[in-house]
Structure 1
Amino acid sequence: MSQTGAPAVFSPWTDPEAKPLIRFRGVTKRFGDFTAIDNLTLDIYEREFYALLGPSGCGKTTMMRMLAGFESPTEGVIELSGQDIAPVPPNKRAVNMMFQSYALFPHLSVYDNIAFGLRREGRGKDQVHGRVQEMLRLTRLERFAARKPHQISGGQRQRVALARSLAKAPKLLLLDEPLGALDRKLREETQFELMDIQEKTGTTFVIVTHDQEEAMTVASRIAVMDEGRVIQVATPAEIYEAPNSVYVADFIGDVNIIEGRVTPGEGAVSIDWAEGEPPIRAVTDAQLAPGQSCHFAIRPEKVTIDRERPDRPNAFQGKVIDIAYLGNISTYHVRLSGGQMVKAQMVNARRLANRPITWEDEVWVGFSETAGVVLER
């Protein structure tokens, strides 16, 4: 804790003195003519909960398999605690992997599943028992120690697999789509359990997922991947609020992307984007030339929707074409005069009968100069 009582912010990647636990340096992995990982360089720090996020086939699982020792780099070096891990066999690495299927032994009890790896190492009976009890407490499974995997729920099996993976106290735990088999509500609950366990153990977690909400919830940092390359590495807030490309903006969350040509101005730019529509005014640090093509990305929750013209720097008229009711929020699909479809979100603070805007209504959408991001690519 700091002197003010506020918890210290965990961000070793901002400290030039901090040494990464894992380093990928110029790593390429080819399978025949196919390049799965393309000249990858990145750092992962101790105690991070690091997410590799991307669509199927982007290379994230190949990265994890190289860390585990199931694949070797074609070029480049992967270091763990400053040591090249290429010569180290999988069973000798301070790394453990938790598979999507959990891979529990069906004939063994929860206790014996957790104890399995420790016994294989030849540890003493008392040492094994103490460590298993510690893992059962950590994962809140004490009451289920004598049960077999088929006698417990999917969420409990997930915790058994996690306890077994953590029992040997690895420096690094790899989680391959660990929550994919759980239903939505249980998955959301388990995400917070994972974060709590990771914080208590101090183990570095690297999770592979294609679920953006999962990555945004659990990760200290996210690496967004595409076709074997890392497109952006940043905290969830930075990835969401300040994506570095249209690909990242579009991949993470819901977004409106408007293409146009820029006119630089004093402290802000104007973007001409549709015939007969006023330009979009936006604040940006990007150095753009007059007439350069660009994309303007804005999240639906930053777009207001009103019956009357709002007092905002950016205001455009349109008609409500569709409404997606999601309980706590509604997303309005508005076709602007120039033909562009824009999504705006409104919190459902009122009951259904008292909401002022419905299908086919003529409306105004608006947003501030700082609400969106100007992207060059």
Structure 2
Amino acid sequence: MTSAVAAARPAEFAPWNDPAQTPLIRFENVTKRFGDFTAVDDVDLAIYRKEFFALLGPSGCGKTTLMRMLAGFETATEGRITIGDEDMAGIPPNRREVNMMFQSYALFPHLSVWDNIAFGLKRSDMAKDKIPDRVQEMLRLTRLEKFARRKPHQISGGQRQRVALARALAKAPKLLLLDEPLGALDAKLRQQTQFELMDIQEKTETTFVIVTHDQEEAMTVASRVAVMDNGKVIQVDTPARIYETPNSVYVADFIGDVNLIEGNATLKPDGLVRLAWAEGAPEIIATAGEGLTDGARASFVIRPEKVAISAERPEGRNNVVQGRIHDIAYLGNISTYHVELPGGQIMKAQTVNNRRQSRRGFTWDDEVWLSWTDTAGLVLAG
């Protein structure tokens, strides 16, 4: 995981921490079944005004079904969905103050960029003489003024994405739903467009809900992320907290790169925990995570960038292990060392390549020491 982990919003934007704030959207005990299959399983969720909220998870986890229920394309089997305190049961998609932007963009190929953006406005109750100004405003917002008369096939993929966004925002919905909106773009353009989306969302102050399986995308754009698995919401929190303090092994493993070491946990009075993990190996001392009980089977989770690698044994640390470099991944800005420990466990450590021609201190089969502080990792139940 890159520096994109940093929260996409200023620290002061945290309505979920303010008891006086009322959520724009509520999912209350929402379940959706298709026959015998449960796609969404008893979900409780609150999303606030002006928030850029991400539903993140692997294919089949229920995130798209959750979005389709919000849009009105699916009906909840059980539970209640409200937008602005209004129960959405029985309200069709065209009567909700919600718009949806699809991965395919669904632009009309025979219409110009201008006419694509104006299409929905012409079928709304907006006065006809107001439409040109609104279209021009959307063109300015998405920096498409020069392309107004072009057809979709005459502009780039990133520009088509912005046309679809402009069209979706033209009617000023309370809520914009984005279904894998950047999936069709190449990596560099996708990264650029993520920041454009954030900028547009902040300028319009529209609530955005994005569905994605791309962890880095969710961590970059969102004020908060809901990590899903098998129809359930596993954790909802800011990107930084999802990354630094996951509430389960599943979340820790799904978000970014992580080392996992299983063992038996013994709780200490100071909030730390000892993990016995391999015969003859020193116990790991780490911070106790959520739901951990004394004597339970548990997993130590630590990010590779928090593991130091050295040729000499470091002094003054509790957590020190020796191993042999099994593999090296050079990723340009960082190098990841895969170190095999005496019992066969592979542990990863990362170093920053902060010089153009990095002096290679370590190579394959070198004996090295790995170390980390007592608070660098978590011990989580399971």
Question: TM-score normalised to the size of structure 1?
Answer: 0.96
C-alpha distance in 1 between matches for 2:11 and 2:236: 21
Which letter maps to 1:238?
R
1:79 aligns with: 82
2:339 aligns with: 334
Measured on the aligned residues, the alpha-carbon RMSD in Å equals 1.2
Matched, 1:227 2:263: no
Query: Quick check: 266-275 or 226-235, which moved more?
Result: 266-275
Which letter maps to 2:219?
M
Which letter maps to 1:271?
L
C-alpha distance in 2 between matches for 1:173 and 1:32: 29
TM-aligned CA distance change 1:335 to 1:352, over 3 Å:
farther
Which letter maps to 1:337?
P
Which letter maps to 1:322?
D
2:314 aligns with: 310
TM-aligned CA distance change 1:286 to 1:29, over 3 Å:
closer
127, 132, 146: which one aligns with 1:129:
132
C-alpha distance in 2 between matches for 1:354 and 1:222: 39
C-alpha distance in 2 between matches for 1:286 and 1:223: 17
Matched, 1:31 2:34: yes
C-alpha distance in 1 between matches for 2:265 and 2:200: 48
Higher normalized contact order (CA 8 Å, seq sep 6+, divided by chain length) = 2
C-alpha distance in 2 between matches for 1:152 and 1:194: 18
Query: Quick check: 273-282 or 116-125, which moved more?
Result: 116-125
2:216 aligns with: 213
> Deviation string for 1:201-251 (max 9, x for gaps)?
000000000000000000000000011100000000000000000000000
Deviation, 1:326, is 0.2
Conservation of the 8 A alpha-carbon contact between 1:175 and 1:207: yes
Q: How does 1:115-194 map to 2 (within 5 A)?
A: 115-194=118-197
C-alpha distance in 2 between matches for 1:176 and 1:28: 20
Deviation, 1:269, is 1.8
Provide runs of 4+ in structure 1 moved above 4 Å. Answer: 285-290
Question: TM-score normalised to the size of structure 2?
Answer: 0.95
TM-aligned CA distance change 1:8 to 1:373, over 3 Å:
closer
1:3 aligns with: none
C-alpha distance in 2 between matches for 1:291 and 1:303: 26
Aligned-partner SS, 1:283: strand
Which letter maps to 2:88?
I
Aligned-partner SS, 2:70: helix
Which letter maps to 2:299?
H
Aligned-partner SS, 2:288: coil
Q: How does 1:52-91 map to 2 (within 5 A)?
A: 52-91=55-94
Deviation, 1:289, is 4.6
C-alpha distance in 1 between matches for 2:289 and 2:77: 39
Q: How does 1:336-355 map to 2 (within 5 A)?
A: 336-352=341-357, 354-355=359-360
C-alpha distance in 2 between matches for 1:56 and 1:8: 31
Deviation, 1:339, is 1.5
Aligned-partner SS, 1:97: strand
Where does structure 1 lack aligned partners over 5 or more consecutive residues?
Answer: 1-6
Deviation, 1:109, is 0.3
C-alpha distance in 2 between matches for 1:211 and 1:123: 37
C-alpha distance in 2 between matches for 1:41 and 1:12: 17
TM-aligned CA distance change 1:280 to 1:187, over 3 Å:
same
Deviation, 1:48, is 0.5
Deviation, 1:126, is 2.3
C-alpha distance in 1 between matches for 2:91 and 2:188: 40
293, 296, 299: which one aligns with 2:300:
296
TM-aligned CA distance change 1:260 to 1:117, over 3 Å:
same
Identity %: 71
Q: How does 1:86-97 map to 2 (within 5 A)?
A: 86-97=89-100
C-alpha distance in 1 between matches for 2:273 and 2:126: 66
2:376 aligns with: 371
Aligned-partner SS, 1:276: coil
272, 278, 300: which one aligns with 2:282:
278
C-alpha distance in 1 between matches for 2:24 and 2:151: 36
Matched, 1:247 2:250: yes
